[in-house]
Amino acid sequence: MRYAENILETIGNTPLIKLNKVLGDDFPALVLAKVETFNPGHSVKDRMALKMIEDAEKDGRLKAGGTIIEGTSGNTGMGLALAAIVKGYHCIFVTNSKQSKEKCDILRAMGAEVVVCPTDVTADDPRSYYSVSKSLSESTPNSWYVNQYDNLSNRQAHYESTAPEIWDQTEGKLTHFVVGAGTGGTITGCGRFFKEKNKDIQIIGVDTFGSILKEYHETGQIHLDHAYTYITEGIGEDIIPENYDMSVIDHFEKVTDKDGALYARKLAKMEGIFCGYSAGSAIAALVQMKETFNSTDVVVVLLHDHGSRYVGKIYNDEWMKQQGWLED
């Protein structure tokens, strides 16, 4: 008999699927989607959540019966919750008000406590979800603050699992890797692996307007006065997490809130791949960069999470109309 001992053993080994329609008939390159929704928590974050927990267990930061505390847009929380259920931990997750209601409901369904903070405050504001997470970890006995932004087990998980899978699936033939950038774990972990294998592989981060990642990559400067609130979920930052190694990233492509939402819907309707907001942004980035690819390129685009987290937003016609993004 073939079976997994628990849900955690089903993480990874997600499929690579050719995109046929959503990019247009004249798109020059072969584009393959690494569809991370096949993980048990329906996102790429399952990989790093388990790695961060296992590393914290090994060095004693996380002790038996402890409480896991983290600021999350939802997906990391889901991965942590799965591992906590199997391993016997309690979870408190802090998120911000721009995240979809579905994400909060799912986390509560998995037994976690959820605290919602305002979105339009700076990272160092005591009301921000960064600050509230740290405060809770200081006041909660036997707790561990994960801090996925600066926890280097995040990027190591992708160096050890995500990137080697893609390398094997493409037989080392990929020429470009395109991925939404947030905490920096996926793009840096995969980027380091691919650059070690072949320095000519182009690592492309997908950013959103209102985020500072692209500007920091190009100038080395942080201008918080250039940051502003955006609607896109799962990518972009108003801080530079320690997980980033900007030297392995070749380019950041910015995508509007509207285009990310519209292309997520197109991906579902044209490819049958039901993914989240950042996946739509990644597809939009490819369309914007179309002229930079040629017929010999093999482009791998990573699709982070499942569309079920966004049915009240980008997959809801009324919500889309309220944003002015969908005509009758």
pLDDT digits (tens, 9 = 90+) for 229-265: 999 999 999 999 999 999 999 999 999 999 999 999 9
Domain boundary among 115, 145, 175: 145
User: Side chain identity at 99, as an amino acid letter?
Assistant: Q
Give per-residue pLDDT as tens, 48-70.
999 999 999 999 999 999 999 99
51 a catalytic residue? no
Catalytic residue among 45, 195, 254, 313: 45
Q: What is the CATH number of the domain that holds 91?
A: 3.40.50.1100
Q: Which domain holds residue 101?
A: 45-145
Among 145, 164, 187, the domain boundary falls at 145
Which amino acid belongs to residue 213? L
- Report percent pLDDT > 70 for the chain: 100
Q: Is residue 166 one of the residues assigned to a domain?
A: yes
Residue 98: band (very low, low, confident or very high) from pLDDT cuts 50, 70, 90 = confident
Task: Note whether 303 and 33 are within 8 A (CB).
Answer: yes
**15 and 112, same domain (yes or no):** no
**For the residues 155-172, what does the mean pLDDT come to?**
98
Q: How confident is the model at residue 328 (pLDDT cuts 50, 70, 90)?
A: low
- Residue 250's contacts (CB-CB under 8 Å, 6 or more residues apart) are 202, 203, 204
Task: Name the pTM for this structure.
Answer: 0.94
The residue assigned the tokens 């609607």 is 231
The pLDDT value recorded for residue 96 is 86
Instruction: Decide: 230 and 208 in contact? Cβ < 8 Å.
Output: yes
- Residue 129: pLDDT band (50, 70, 90) is confident
How many structural domains is the chain composed of? 2
**186 contacts 158 by C-beta, under 8 angstroms:** yes
b/e sequence 1-30, b meaning 16+ C-beta within 10 Å? eeeeeeebeebbebeebebeebbeeebebb
Token pair for residue 186?
Answer: 């996926």
CB contact at 8 A, 230 and 211: yes
DSSP 8-state assignment for residue 43: B
3-state secondary structure of 208: strand
Q: Are residues 194 and 60 in the same domain?
A: no
150 within some domain: no
Same domain, 160 and 280: yes
